[in-house]
Amino acid sequence: MEAGMSTRRSRAGSTRLFLARALFVVVLVGLWQLAADRRWVNANFFSSPTDVWDSLGSLSGSGELWRGLQSTVLVLVVGWVIGELAGLALGIAIGLSKRLDDILGPIIVFANAVPRILLLPIFVVWYGFGPEPKVLLVVTVMVVFVALNVAAGVRDVDGLLVQNMRVHGANRLDLIRHVFLPAVALWVTSSARVTVGYALQATIGSELLGAESGLGSLISHGQVSFKSDQIIAVLLVAAVLAVAIDLLLAALERRAVRWMPAT
């Protein structure tokens, strides 16, 4: 009985929170529309909700929005997967080998301090304005971030557990499969929402700089033509995409960690 009442109170609280957030958005949009109608702000620069809605409908009807969204998602997924796998392999390697860490560690730390967006012009020179430079930029962003954190996770594995495995005849490959990979897999799962955020920023950032397609390209076109309504419309679509990906990964994360014992 108490559990049922607690569940109902929790659902009621969630409903009130959702309604409060929805009310805040409605009020904000209403004030924005009022400010545009009363000319309290310059509509050429700030646009209005109705203009943004019209622009969204126009982009959707012409197919530009869907082509751009498809291009962005494709670059994001390919770059994120390759970057995760490459960063995972590199992180395990430098985490297990002190000599390799001594050689590559400072280079990776230096690369992490350099804004990777600066590499995009080089990638464009190499591959043109197709999807390749965008994917490569996402991969470079992901590899450094993932490798540093995976290497730290490998070093944090309980040394006593490793020693016990070796006593029972485990070799390096056995340790990687049964000790280190499960340890870093938890980090990869729990940090996926963060790494996807970095990948999405890199994807749209790369599309802003001369890309032929993608949401960032639509924003860039809106900037060149001084269409603030188009810029805001595409930004809203990018925000919805980010929220949708975050909700999906949150659901997958809950499923992935369900097997873990409570502490």
Q: Residue-wise pLDDT tens for the chain (263 aa)?
A: 555 556 666 666 678 887 888 888 888 888 888 887 787 877 677 788 888 888 889 888 888 899 999 999 999 999 999 998 898 888 888 887 788 888 888 888 888 788 888 888 888 888 877 888 889 999 998 888 888 888 877 777 666 666 666 766 666 676 777 677 777 777 777 777 788 888 888 899 888 876 678 888 888 888 888 888 889 999 999 999 988 988 888 887 777 655 544 43
- Does the residue 138 lie in any domain? yes
The answer on 37 and 55 residing in a single domain is no
Q: pTM here?
A: 0.79
C-alpha to C-alpha distances, 98 to 143, 154, 181, nearest whole angstrom? 19, 12, 18
22: Cα separation from own chain's centroid: 25
- Tokens standing for residue 103: 């050689």
Q: Could you tell me if 140 and 217 lie in one domain?
A: yes
- Model pLDDT, residue 261: 44
Q: Which residue range forms the structural domain that includes residue 12? A: 1-41
Residue 30 placed within a domain: yes
The pLDDT of residue 77 is 92
Q: Where are the alpha helices (DSSP H) in the chain?
A: 2-37, 43-46, 49-62, 64-96, 98-113, 120-127, 131-155, 159-167, 172-175, 181-190, 192-208, 215-224, 228-256
> Given the structure tokens 């804004």, which residue do they identify?
115
In a domain, 263, yes or no: no
Assess whether 67 and 170 both reside in one domain. Answer: yes
Name residue, tokens 């929005």: 65
Indicate whether 123 and 159 sit together in one domain. Answer: yes
> 261 lies in a domain?
no
Same domain, 214 and 132: yes
Number of domains in the chain: 2
Indicate if 70 and 198 belong to the same structural domain.
yes
pLDDT at 262: 45
Whether residue 168 sits in one domain with residue 89: yes
From CA 197, how far away is CA 80, in angstroms rounded?
10
What does the alpha-carbon distance between residue 258 and residue 253 come to, in Å, rounded to a whole number? 8
Per the domain annotation, does 5 fall within a domain?
Answer: yes
Q: How many angstroms separate the CA atoms of 123 and 135, rounded?
A: 10
Between the CA atoms of 97, 102, 104 and 108, what dihedral angle is there, to the nearest 10 degrees? Answer: 110
* Type of residue found at 185: A
Are 29 and 54 in a shared domain?
Answer: no
> Burial of 14 by CB count in 10 Å (0-12 exposed, 13-18 middle, 19+ buried)?
exposed
On whether both 81 and 33 belong to a single domain, the answer is no
- 262 is a domain residue: no
Neighbouring residues of 216: CB distance < 8 A, sequence distance ≥ 6? 72, 203, 204, 205, 206, 207, 208, 209
* Domain shared by 94 and 147, yes or no: yes
Question: What local confidence, expressed as pLDDT, does residue 263 receive?
Answer: 39
DSSP 157: S
CATH number of the domain residue 101 falls in? 1.10.3720.10
Domain-embedded: residue 243:
yes
Residues 53 and 24 in one domain: no
Q: Is residue 92 included in any domain, yes or no?
A: yes
Regarding whether 82 and 19 lie in a shared domain, the answer is no
